[in-house]
Amino acid sequence: MKSGTRIQLSFMMFLEFFIWGSWFVTLGTFLKENLHASGAQAGNVFSTQSYGAIIAPFIIGLIADKYFNAEKILGVLHLIGAGLMFLMFRADNISTFFPYVFGYMVGYMPTLALVNSVSFRQMTNPEKEFSSIRIWGTIGWIVAGLLISYVFHWDGKAGLETGELKNTFAMGGVASLILGIYSFTLPKTPPIKNKNEKDSISSLLGLDAIKLLKNRNFLVFFISSILICIPLAFYYQNAHTFIEQTGIENVTAKMAIGQVSETLFLLLIPVFFSKFGFKKTILIGMLAWAVRYALFAYGNGTDLSFMLLIGIALHGICYDFFFVSGQIYTDQQAGEKYKSAAQGMITLATYGFGMWMGFKIAGFITDYYTANPVENFWRQIWLIPAGIALAVFLLFLALFRDSKKQVA
């Protein structure tokens, strides 16, 4: 790959995840402090990510893969996203805000696949080259958090009191506008599929790979993947608000520790795979979820603040050792014919239905303990996802049998 192309793709990836990190991390606190949303309302807003994940295959499969260049679709979606971000910035109540964030996530989720498509098409050896491009996405997410906490102080006590968290949408909107325009300068990435080839709904959603579920091991993995997304949703929806309420300062920047950890542990996955195998690697990831929420439940913002920071840092193990390992396992098991369909099915199940269910449950639990006060509100909140993660760990431990044999 030419150095100029590498720089182009790296900047594209930086902006793609800078945009997401500029508002999604602080969304839970914004909903509570600025829009005074209930737990159920917050759950509905976060669920828009799941709706976007469900709808994304149709946008990619029916439009980007068949009719238009990927970089042009990327540009159009981000320009539309910039406008919706401005409307989200202007919204002053949850009823007005919801349709804008819904429209935004339906448009944004497909761009995650599009930036990968643009990148892979320019590479001669994706296995070696992609990680050096993708890491700039993580850097973009971290930079967004540092700006919010250390430069603009929007998530500080004074910023929260004056409602300055809404400025995160303005920052994301500006970055989305830049990426929207910049996308039209990216290397041309035309469709490669036969325009006369008909796509079925099942192929677009990855349901052609449903035959993989006939294998007991893959079925156990599939069910576990959906269930582990319930505790994951608790983290996305509640972590920023919780840590901010403990009194820890510069919360958004400190939560970026999770992305630093994600980068480091991503490099360790091949080591764990070769030394311990898939089952033990993914079990470590599951157990890390339970440990993380236990740390949140019993830590505090003063003498036990280190427990909260360790909990954030565990994000690398939680995410990489389960989700990235799961993607590798799915690729190994699916066989050539069903590789793409299998990845689509897992993505639909986890980020679609699993996360949707998780956000709904997290919202319900928050409202329940708000209406029925307990002595330690947040401890009760975090012990629930800790218990769910531990249950999934035990389920997988008991039922999954490690095997390298392909399903299809």
Measure CA 169 to chain center: 18
Domain boundary assignment for the chain: 7-188, 205-408
Q: CB under 8 Å to 60, separation ≥6 — which residues? A: 110, 113, 114
pLDDT in the model for residue 81: 97
Per-residue pLDDT of the chain (408 residues; tens, 9 = 90+): 788 999 999 999 999 999 999 999 999 999 999 999 999 999 999 999 999 988 877 776 666 667 788 899 999 999 999 999 999 999 999 999 999 999 999 999 989 888 988 998 898 887 678 878 888 998 999 999 999 999 999 999 999 999 999 999 999 999 999 999 999 999 998 886 655 555 666 665 656 678 889 999 999 999 999 999 999 999 999 999 999 999 999 999 999 999 999 888 888 888 888 888 899 999 999 999 999 999 999 999 999 999 999 999 999 999 889 888 888 888 788 876 677 677 778 888 898 999 999 999 999 999 999 999 999 999 999 999 999 999 999 999 999 987 655 555
Q: Do domains 7-188 and 205-408 have the same CATH topology?
A: yes
- Tell me the CATH architecture of domain 7-188: Up-down Bundle (1.20)
Cβ atoms of 277 and 402 within 8 Å: the answer is yes
Cβ atoms of 191 and 65 within 8 Å: the answer is yes
Overall fold of domain 205-408: Growth Hormone; Chain: A; (1.20.1250)
DSSP 134: H
Q: Which pTM does this prediction carry?
A: 0.90
pLDDT in the model for residue 67: 78
d(CA 203, CA 207): 6
pLDDT in the model for residue 212: 87
Question: CB 157: neighbour CB atoms within 10 A?
Answer: 11
- Look at the chain and count its residues: 408
261 closest CA partner among 315, 318, 325, 308: 315
pLDDT in the model for residue 128: 77
